[in-house]
Each structure stands twice: as structure tokens, then as C-alpha cells.
Amino acid sequence: MRLALGYVPLVDAAALIVAVERGFTAAEGLAVDLVREPSWATLRDRLALGHLDGAHMLAPLALASSLGISGPETRLAVPLALNLNGNAITVSRPLWAAMMRDGPGDKGLDTVASAFAGVARARAGQGAPLTLGTVHPFSSHTYQLRLFAARGGLDLDGTVRMVVIPPPRIAEALRDGHIDGFCAGSPWNSLAVEEGYGRIAAFGCALAPDCPEKVLALPAYAAPTCGALVRAVRRAGRWCARRENHEELARLLARPDHLAIAPALVRRALAGTVVVDPDGTRRDAPDFVLFGETAERPRPAQVDWLLDRMTEAGQIVATPEVSERAHGLYRPDLYDAALPD
């Protein structure tokens, strides 16, 4: 069986990439073509139209696609989660300087969030609101930006301008002054820091611990026969989770045909020791991105968390019918059925 599986170039595509590149899919009798997609909207539409047989997908976007509120309504199944966490909020150096102007210093998440809120209110009052980038409206990145603002007592709606930018382009949008900050997955935060124009203000894992991030999304009609793929990607995810494999994993992900970036920037996320500013300041976050056994089983509680965030953002009205349809997306029964006896 030959499958086309889509992904967006991010560190958290690791389990899917490793499953193919290290032969885990071949060992299950699967021939897989990896398809690098430029944006989440493109990936969503190609999956909906049958050009892809499955994909590395934003968990909230899989939910929105299934509910018919983002792109074509698409019956999907999620038999496996690919990771938890992996995001960060990065701001421009001028914005960081404005946040620190009154001398609060980087004394913790609440202090930084309050400083951000103060600048955002001032800019809005001057008729020049801050512009923040997110990778898709239906993403944990959008919700983490809202959580960050709320930590500082700020309601983003009506105060900050939000724009959608594909992950591989979001750092350069900050560099070119099109946005004042963004929330994205690795390695694009580290790229902005490494190139000198960005400062990481907050880790996603601090804003929303064990945040449901990317999932393996399949057309619902393929779900009954997905056992071999689930086993292969599960093995790959556990391989990615082992620290002794991180050097090889960083080199693999960094290749020109995947992320096309320096391996050192990938290693920062994998190690959970992240450089947050151009001066080389490091912050330890062991849970910065999680693969393997900790992450892999789809959990109904994650659907509840996503529905709550979507409701807070005004994206849905969480009726019992919506909740029932949403919970039908996550299929822990398929995950369990795929495991060896």
C-alpha cells in the first residue's frame, strides 16, 4: 500500500518523518511518500480533497475541519497524537525593549505578560495596535497568545491585530517588521533569536502544560485499516523521545528536504534548553516538546480543553451536538486496537 502523508516543516513533525526515514513504515509493509506542505490551510484542503492519505495536523484544525468550520467539512479520525507542547511566543527586540522600559526585568511569566499588556494597551490607545502572528486561527498558538494576554489582564479582542502566517514564513515576517511578535512551533522561534531580531517571551508549555499540539489525522474511511501506520508512527515517536537519539534526529529534521535549517536550532527544542535572546540567555524547560508514550494516546479530555479554548475565542458555541461530534474525532479505540497483542 502506498500512502501520501503531509506535514508542515516543524520539529513536531518528527514522528512522521522518522517513521518513514528510519524504515518503521516499511517494516509494517507500507510505502509512504512524505509531502511537505507550505501552510496549514494548504494541508487541510489537500487532505479534504483526497490528495493526501493522512497528515501531521494541528489538533484544533482537525477538530474544526471535522465540524465544518474551517475549509471543507471533512470526516476525520485521530488514532494517534504526535506530540504535546513545542510552541513559544517571540516578540521583536523593539517590543521587548518597550516591555522592559520601566525596569520590570524578566522576572517570570506574569511579569512579562503584564509588561506586554501595558505596551499593547498604550499602542491601541495611540491608534497603532500591535500586530501578532499566529499560524492558523484554529491552533493552540492562537489560544496560547490569548492565554498570555489574559495572564497580563489583557483581552486581545479589539486591542491587538492578529494575522495568519505559515510557520516557515513567520520569523521573516518579524524580521521584516510586518508583525511585532508571534506564536509558532520550533524551530522558528529559535531562528528569530539566532538571527538577532527576536526575543522569546514565553514558552507554550508554561502557558498550557501538556498542550495538545499535533495529531495524525486520517480520513475517517481509512480508520479501520490504519493499524500498521499507527504502529509505525508510534514506534517512531518513542524513538524520538529517547535522548540518545536526539543528535541523529536533529540532523535528520534539519535536512534541506525537511526543515532546511541548522541542526543546532532543532537541538534546542529537543533538549529543552532554549536560547531566548541574542545574548545567549538560556532557559530550561524539560517539557518544551514531548514525544512518545507521554503524548501518543488520544485523550477525550484534550477535546474538552480544545472546545473550551474555541468557545473562549468565539469560534464555536459548544452545544451537546458539537461536543458529541468533536469527541468522535479522537479514536483511542483505534490506538488500542493497533497495539501488538
Confidence band for 104, pLDDT divided at 50, 70 and 90: low
Q: Which residues make up the CATH 3.40.190.10 domain(s) of the chain?
A: 2-84+211-338, 87-207
117, 149 contact by CB (below 8 A): yes
Confidence band for 178, pLDDT divided at 50, 70 and 90: very high
Mean pLDDT of 276-300: 96
pLDDT of residue 188: 98
Which string of DSSP letters, residue by residue, matches 235-255? HHHHHHH-GGGHHHHHHHHHS
- Specify the DSSP element, H or E, that contains 4: strand 2-7
pLDDT of residue 107: 74
> Which top CATH class is 87-207?
alpha beta
The CATH code belonging to domain 2-84+211-338 is 3.40.190.10
Which residues, including other chains, have CB under 8 Å from residue 264's CB and lie 6 or more apart?
250
Which residues, including other chains, have CB under 8 Å from residue 321's CB and lie 6 or more apart?
none
pLDDT in tens, 189-232: 999 999 999 999 999 999 999 999 999 999 999 988 999 999 99
